[in-house]
Amino acid sequence: MLTDESQLLFAAGVLIAFVLAIALLVIIFISRIKFLKNRLFDTLEVSADKDKKITELQQKLEEVESKEERLGQELQRFDDTKVLLKSKKALIVKIEEKMSLLEKQERQHLNTVETYSKEFQTLSYRYKSLKRRNEFLVDENKQLRAENTKILMRVREQERRIFERLKSLQGNSRERRIEIEKQAEGIFEKNQQLFESVRDDALLESVASFSDEIFQYHETIISSFKESLERERDMQSDIVSQAESRQKAEERVETLLERLKDKERLGDSGSEVMKYIVHLSDIDSKSWLHLKMEKSHEDAEQILSAEIALPNGHKLEIDTTFSLESYEIYRQTGDHTQKEQALALFLKSFREHVESLSQKKTNRQHSWMLVASNEAMQTACKHKEKLCDFSSQKGIILVSPSALLAAIERIVTLWKYQEHYDLAMQLISKAEAIEEAFVDDAKTIGNVSQRLEMIQESLSTKTNT
């Protein structure tokens, strides 16, 4: 058995062990609390850092979204610029083609001017020869007048002598005197008629009027030749100015279409553009152009079609009723699916209009269809349906405002050439008529001279008897 002291020591040892165990537990809990507290502080710091980073990321996300939106807008502008660049390239190609065409036309004009110059020289030579021949005939006519006057005076003197001799004759019967008097009166009347026919000066008046016409034609040819020479000297600047004027015309047409769009009148776009082109060109609307009109909903005259007369006798019919409303819907649509649908509707309306014109087309081989917007026509032609080829197969020629303006200006030039040609042909025909008149008058004067000689011989015979 243990002693009391041993028991106390054991109890003290147990107590110390218990206290140490409790102290150990307290130390463990305190260290755990410290660890958890530090961990909590670390977690809070990490959470704060994460919140800060989340905020920064959100800001960056917003910046990226705004930047993406700006990039999208820039991309859209880039696409628009790309389309505009393509149109400008196409415009440059057209201008180059027009320049080559204008150079070709200029060469043709120079050849035409040279032809007219040669014709003018030929007419001048013929006029000079006719003038010399006319002067010769006038001098000869004056000589014949003088000779005829002398002959007439001699005839009258012989008649007077005949009458005096009749009075002095004895033994002649009354019937013989009456017969001789009748013959003398008949001879006198014939001589008077012949003398009056020789004095006719209508030929001189016709020659004078022909001379005036030759002079006017000379002035016209000279002015045309001077204009052609001036154009030849400055052909390059003229081509550039024409290209610039065509480009300005296209810009004005676009401005006109914008005004019509603001007024919601795109249905009248073809009519309004046709009015502007007619106003811009020098075409004679009374002689060469016929417009088929009707009253629109605003009591304004709308052009349904235009008919242009050509120098060869044919007529060019231009339809102006195609509406750009469906194309404007296609342009304004932003959604891709809806844009495809709007494009399909535009192409459908385009095709239906071409088919309608093809059915209405008369015996003419081709008719023209005015598309008031270059972009609309390019959209229709560049699409996979190839509406340009379809229109050509149907006998319908698609024309833009600039192409129509160039065609009308070319027609005006052809009409001016035709007027010069008609004037030259009229002068040639008049010259031939005057030449024939000269020949006929020369024959008449010769016949008159022969008849006067016969009359003189007859009077001499009567006098001798």
pLDDT digits (tens, 9 = 90+) for 81-117: 888 888 888 888 888 787 778 777 777 777 777 777 7
The pLDDT of residue 177 = 52
- Give the separation between CA 383 and CA 349, rounded to whole angstroms: 14
Find tokens 């024939």 and name the residue: 436
- Residue 170 — pLDDT band, cuts 50, 70, 90? very low
pTM beyond 0.95 = no
Q: How many CA atoms lie within 13 A of 250 on its CB side?
A: 19
The pLDDT of residue 9 = 81
Residues facing residue 319 across a β-bridge: 305, 369
The pLDDT of residue 273 = 77
Q: Is the pLDDT of residue 200 over 60?
A: no
As a whole number, mean pLDDT of residues 194-214 equals 51
- Give the separation between CA 291 and CA 387, rounded to whole angstroms: 27
Map residue 320 onto helix, strand or coil.
coil
Average pLDDT, the chain: 71
As a whole number, mean pLDDT of residues 183-197 equals 56
- Give the separation between CA 157 and CA 457, rounded to whole angstroms: 14
Return the minimum-mean-pLDDT range out of 60-69, 164-173, 348-357: 164-173
The pLDDT of residue 203 = 47
The pLDDT of residue 288 = 64
H helices of 169-200, where? 174-198
Distance separating the N- and C-terminal Cα atoms of the chain: 227
Closest CA to 232 of 112, 151, 147: 112
The pLDDT of residue 342 = 83
Q: Which residues does 402 contact at the CB level (< 8 Å), separation at least 6? A: 94, 246, 249, 250, 253, 374
The pLDDT of residue 199 = 47
Q: Where are the beta strands (DSSP E) in 211-366?
A: 289-295, 301-309, 315-319
Per-residue pLDDT tens over the stretch 117-159: 777 777 777 767 777 777 777 777 677 667 667 766 766 666 5
Q: How many CA atoms lie within 13 A of 237 on its CB side?
A: 5
Per-residue b or e along 341-376, where b marks 16 or more CB atoms closer than 10 Å to that residue's CB: ebbeebbebbbebbeebbeebeeeeebbbbbbbbbb
The pLDDT of residue 438 = 62
As a whole number, mean pLDDT of residues 312-325 equals 79
Q: How many CA atoms lie within 13 A of 315 on its CB side?
A: 15
- Give the separation between CA 279 and CA 284, rounded to whole angstroms: 10
The pLDDT of residue 95 = 80
Per-residue pLDDT tens over the stretch 349-401: 888 888 888 887 765 567 788 887 878 888 877 776 677 778 778 888 888 88
The pLDDT of residue 259 = 76
- Give the separation between CA 72 and CA 56, rounded to whole angstroms: 24
- Residue 246 — pLDDT band, cuts 50, 70, 90? low
How many CB atoms sit inside 10 A of residue 25's CB? Answer: 10
- Give the separation between CA 5 and CA 445, rounded to whole angstroms: 195
Return the minimum-mean-pLDDT range out of 22-31, 121-130, 401-410: 121-130
Closest CA to 376 of 368, 387, 360, 366: 387
As a whole number, mean pLDDT of residues 417-446 equals 68
The pLDDT of residue 198 = 46
Q: Is the pLDDT of residue 420 over 80?
A: no
